Amino acid sequence: MKINPNQLDRGYLKFKNEFDRAVIKTLESGWYILGKEVEKFENHFKEFVGSGYCIGLNSGLDALILAFRALNISVGDEVIVPANTYIASVLSITENGATPVFIEPDEFYNIDADKIEAAITEKTKAILVVHLYGQAANMKKIRAIATQHNLFLVEDCAQSHGSKFEDKTTGTWGDIGCFSFYPTKNLGAFGDAGCIVTNNYEIYEKIHMLRNYGSKVKYQNDILGVNSRLDEIQAAVLNVKLEHYNELKKERISLAETYLNKINNKSIILPEIREMADAIWHLFVVKVENRDKFQEHLTSNGIGTQIHYPIPPHLSKAYGYLGYKKDDFPITENYANTLISLPLYDGMTEEEIMYVINVINRY
């Protein structure tokens, strides 16, 4: 049997008729940028997360970049960020000229809240939390730290659509929640897309202008903006998917539970969920000491896997100028060397997941 790490066409085929109808309707409407579909999505999504405002944007990275721009974070400022994250989180800080201050992860692969306070300096302006792999970070504690030290709190929710900590959805704990709808994300479009959510009207108004050349009224440019608009076709696709999101979420949780209940190989360390945190299983990540050998075992049995992420941002060539070296963040580096993501996608069948589990248990 051949199993890919991801199988995006399954997600399309699940609701093919609805997607086809929505896309064609948009094409026939003659209106392609910032129209009814974007507005409908923004209204629906802000309700979905329980936030006051939503602004559709071009990508998750743009959402993060514009979040820090709206908060006036720039040269000379420091932003606290998990060392164990996708590089986009860090790029959003450096793109604004600010300096990332890395924090090691806890056993749930998210930022270790107990290590944040020691990293706060005079220059610290914000904490960027990433709800990695779909599991909410330790938000109660992090919210308290941000409030106590008067820091902005921004959430990277690219992997956590609808995931909660206690009964509050990720994206609503901070000043701004940033989402990606890249096709592989749990709520994925068929192209690039993203958004921010916030309860703050001033932030809303600023990012609303920033995304469209800094203008509120056409050809009146009040601030220096960019072009980061969500287009009508992607919004129409997202409107269909959001209608079915609860069903998709349930399916993923059930797949993850199958992995959790049926993998019984002692050399595979299964993911754990923090008390009060919720996981929507963007990825199903296991820890294996001899990862290359394990990956080879799966590959030779037709099973594709991925590594999220093999090189932590502080060791990437791009951030060489920050001057970090190997062993600066040993926990993060250990994760980079031992974590591996098993296949998980919308429409994965019982037969497929049982095949993966059997191959893993034979390792």
Ligand X SMILES: *Cc1c(COP(=O)(O)O)cnc(C)c1O
Binding region for ligand X (CB under 6 A): 59-61, 85-86, 88-89, 130, 156, 158-159, 180, 182, 192, 194
CB of 220 to ligand X, least distance (A): 29
Q: Which is nearer to ligand X, 196 or 357 (CB)?
A: 196
Q: How far is the CB of 121 from ligand X (least distance, A)?
A: 25
Smallest gap from residue 217 Cβ to ligand X (A): 29
The single-letter DSSP state of residue 271 is P
Decide if 207 contacts 67 (C-beta within 8 A). Answer: yes
At its nearest, how many Å lie between ligand X and the CB of residue 219? Answer: 29
Closest CA to 194 of 60, 284, 355, 54: 60
In the bound state, the residue with its beta carbon closest to ligand X is 60
Work out the number of other CB atoms within 10 angstroms of the CB of residue 168: 16
The type of residue at 191 is G
| DSSP three-state, residue 360 | helix
What's the rounded Cα separation, in Å, for the pair 124 and 195?
25
Three-class SS of residue 223?
Answer: coil
When the beta carbons of 130 and 288 are compared against ligand X, the nearer one is 130
CA 138 to chain centre: 16
Q: How far is the CB of 171 from ligand X (least distance, A)?
A: 13
The 10 Å Cβ neighbour count of residue 292 is 10
